[in-house]
A and B are shown apart, each in its own frame.
Chain A
Amino acid sequence: MSTSASTSTSTTTSTTTTATTTATAPLDTEARDTPRSRRRGLSPGRRLPATRLIGPALLLALWAAASAAGQLDPGAIPAPWTVVRTAGHLWSAGTLPTDILTSLERAAYGFAIGLTAGVVLALASGLSRVGEALIDGTVNLNRAIPTLGLIPLFILWLGIGEAFKIAIIAIVVYIPIYLNTHAALSGIDSRFVELAEVQGLSRLQFVRKIVVPGALPGFFVGLRLGVTGSWLGLVVLEQINATSGLGYMMFQAQNYGQSDVILVGLLVYGVFGLISDSVVRLIERRVLSWRRTLSS
């Protein structure tokens, strides 16, 4: 019985294959026109180069067109070229590079600490029951508290300098990295655990060859959320008691009604956010090249 079932399966498969082959044969136009020759694909199709930039470019064009047509109040939303000119001034005056550098430094420190903490905690709680008992509930408690609500407390503890800003960014970053990595670690297929036992892997080999690679897709989801989070945290933090940084620059501009300067700040945040996200995606595609998913 099972034999006849599998035979019919194999027949179906071979029919499909034949149909596809004839459809792609260059001369056989008749076969190409037959409606049943190819199924409608459900995957979104081949990836086009730089498609991710089309949306932002369109938005920019719309903005420029509206400004040129005089549809936008230049006091509220200055034209793109005004923003570019202001950026040029701020750059040559030396304040923009300093602000960017300060912000980058904060984001980088906070991100590095958050990344390390997220990964270490996820490994500790994903690989040992004791670790899970100690860590998982605590992190989820931490997650339930709005991180920005911790700012006053952190200022009391760490002073109003750099330390509290970096600490807050680290928290914003570590939570999504921990959650996604931990979920991926605990989701490792038990069949692979069995395989590892059969193949006689040591605990360390098991972690290195099965657990870590298996958890990487989840880790990357967390990493991307973390990267975005570090920029988001920065905007808020630099408007509180900072003396430099992009957020500070925008805060000052608000006091003087310089909407173009605010837009310069937003633009820089946006560009850096986009770049860092692209870098993570690039690394992800490299590292997870074994995956055949919808997006590849």
Chain B
Amino acid sequence: MAPHTEQLTRPAVQLRSLTRSFEDRTVLDGIDLDIPAGQFVALLGHSGSGKSTLLRAIAGLDHNVAGSGHLTAPERVSVVFQDSRLLPWRRVLDNVLLGTDGQDKGRAALAEVGLKGRERAWPSELSGGEAQRAALARSLVREPELLLADEPFGALDALTRIRMHGLLRQLWQRHQPSVLLVTHDVDEAIVLADRVLVLDSGRIGVDLTIDRPHPRSYRDPLLGEYREQLLAALGVVEDPA
């Protein structure tokens, strides 16, 4: 595994020869992975490469999936899904507090994601970006040690997505959970993460530490190298024109 500054602490996530398969298709084929506490990791891979399968395994959501291997994950894990998954019959604040209590904590979390004053709104009254922010607030109230996010910004428009990147990074800095962010978007991965993994044929094909200060700009030329490396790993050949 790539060396990292927080080597002394026990890794938050530890996978040893993790295997998952559907029928006879092996989707995860012996994955070894350590994620140190507090690290921000992005996971790239082709559609169908098993990113969601890996994330669901770590979240403990894959009850009926065949597999083997060893997996350690922290006690408090939060998941942000691609859809905001707010319960339409609970007001925003009650959604944020689903599974916990403490009105004040919920209000504070909503304020943090810029939804102060929308506590009593119904989810159907929120825009897509607002709903996703509420989902982020819901995952933060639980003060997770590990935040798993499966393409959380996939359904948002480009502008909102950029704003969400800033927000996620801020929240990460304040709360310091380990983050595993699944994404399709190479740029999103490079701008946000300290470390980018590429899942390929059921294994971690590339493990890249991105050593650039934050906040990063999409136009940072030094990020271009990382981008090319990752695109090559994903088999995307850029048009030479």
- The DSSP consensus for interface residues of chain B is loop
- Contact partners of B61 in chain A: CB under 8 A: 194, 197-198
**Nearest chain B CB to A279 CB, angstrom units:** 22
Cα-based distance from A290 to B83 in the complex (angstroms): 19
Cα-based distance from A198 to B141 in the complex (angstroms): 13
**Nearest chain B CB to A97 CB, angstrom units:** 42
Cα-based distance from A227 to B231 in the complex (angstroms): 63
B199 interfacial by beta-carbon distance below 8 Å: no
Interface centre among A6, A198, A200, A209 (most CB of B within 10 A): A198
**Nearest chain A CB to B104 CB, angstrom units:** 19
Chain B 38-81 interface 0/1 with A at a Cβ cutoff of 8 Å (1 = within): 00000000000000000000011100000000000000011101
Contact A200 B99 (CB under 8 A): yes
Q: Which of A2, A194, A197 contacts B185 (CB 8 A)?
A: A2
- Contact partners of B100 in chain A: CB under 8 A: 199
A52 interfacial by beta-carbon distance below 8 Å: no
What residue in chain B is nearest A212 (Cβ atoms)? B89
Cα-based distance from A197 to B77 in the complex (angstroms): 11
What residue in chain B is nearest A192 (Cβ atoms)? B87
The verdict on A290 contacting B89 (CB below 8 Å), with A2-B185, A3-B158, A198-B79 known, is yes
Contact A9 B87 (CB under 8 A): no
Q: Which A residues, 200 to 224, have Cβ-Cβ distances below 8 Å to chain B?
A: 200-201, 205, 209-210, 213-214, 216
**Nearest chain B CB to A283 CB, angstrom units:** 15
Contact A10 B89 (CB under 8 A): no
The verdict on A7 contacting B158 (CB below 8 Å), with A2-B185, A192-B87 known, is yes
Q: Which of A2, A7, A210, A288 contacts B87 (CB 8 A)?
A: A210
How many residues on the B side are at the interface (Cβ–Cβ under 8 A)?
A: 29
Q: Which of A2, A192, A199 contacts B99 (CB 8 A)?
A: A199
Q: Which of B87, B142, B157, B158 contacts A209 (CB 8 A)?
A: B87
Cα-based distance from A196 to B87 in the complex (angstroms): 10
The verdict on A6 contacting B78 (CB below 8 Å), with A191-B83, A192-B85, A290-B124 known, is no
B122 interfacial by beta-carbon distance below 8 Å: yes
Contact A290 B88 (CB under 8 A): yes
- Contact partners of A65 in chain B: CB under 8 A: none
Cα-based distance from A198 to B142 in the complex (angstroms): 11
- Contact partners of B184 in chain A: CB under 8 A: 2
Contact A213 B158 (CB under 8 A): no
Cα-based distance from A192 to B88 in the complex (angstroms): 11
The verdict on A213 contacting B89 (CB below 8 Å), with A2-B185, A10-B157, A191-B81 known, is yes
Contact A6 B158 (CB under 8 A): yes
B223 interfacial by beta-carbon distance below 8 Å: no
Cα-based distance from A3 to B191 in the complex (angstroms): 15
Cα-based distance from A288 to B60 in the complex (angstroms): 33
The verdict on A199 contacting B124 (CB below 8 Å), with A3-B158, A209-B90, A213-B89 known, is no
Query: How many interface residues does chain A have, given as a range?
Result: 20 to 34
The verdict on A10 contacting B158 (CB below 8 Å), with A209-B98, A210-B87, A290-B88 known, is yes
B156 interfacial by beta-carbon distance below 8 Å: yes
Contact A6 B185 (CB under 8 A): no
Q: Which B residues, 148 to 176, have Cβ-Cβ distances below 8 Å to chain A?
A: 156-161
- Contact partners of A288 in chain B: CB under 8 A: 89
A195 interfacial by beta-carbon distance below 8 Å: yes
- Contact partners of A6 in chain B: CB under 8 A: 156-158, 161
Q: Which of A191, A213, A292 contacts B85 (CB 8 A)?
A: A191
Cα-based distance from A184 to B5 in the complex (angstroms): 52
**Nearest chain A CB to B79 CB, angstrom units:** 5
Contact A198 B87 (CB under 8 A): no
**Nearest chain A CB to B59 CB, angstrom units:** 6
Cα-based distance from A86 to B191 in the complex (angstroms): 84
Contact B99 A201 (CB under 8 A): yes
Chain A 169-192 interface 0/1 with B at a Cβ cutoff of 8 Å (1 = within): 000000000000000000000011
**Nearest chain A CB to B61 CB, angstrom units:** 6
What residue in chain A is nearest B139 (Cβ atoms)? A198
Q: Which A residues, 1 to 43, have Cβ-Cβ distances below 8 Å to chain B?
A: 2-3, 6-7, 9-10, 13
Cα-based distance from A7 to B156 in the complex (angstroms): 10
- Contact partners of A9 in chain B: CB under 8 A: 157
A291 interfacial by beta-carbon distance below 8 Å: yes
What residue in chain A is nearest B161 (Cβ atoms)? A6
- Can you list 7 A-B contacts with CB-CB less than 8 angstroms, sorted by A residue number? A3-B185, A192-B85, A195-B81, A199-B98, A199-B142, A210-B87, A214-B89
11 new A-B contacts at CB < 8 Å, known A3-B158, A291-B88 = A2-B184, A9-B157, A191-B81, A192-B85, A192-B87, A194-B61, A198-B59, A199-B98, A201-B98, A214-B87, A214-B89
Closest 4 CB pairs of A and B: A199-B99, A10-B157, A213-B89, A198-B79
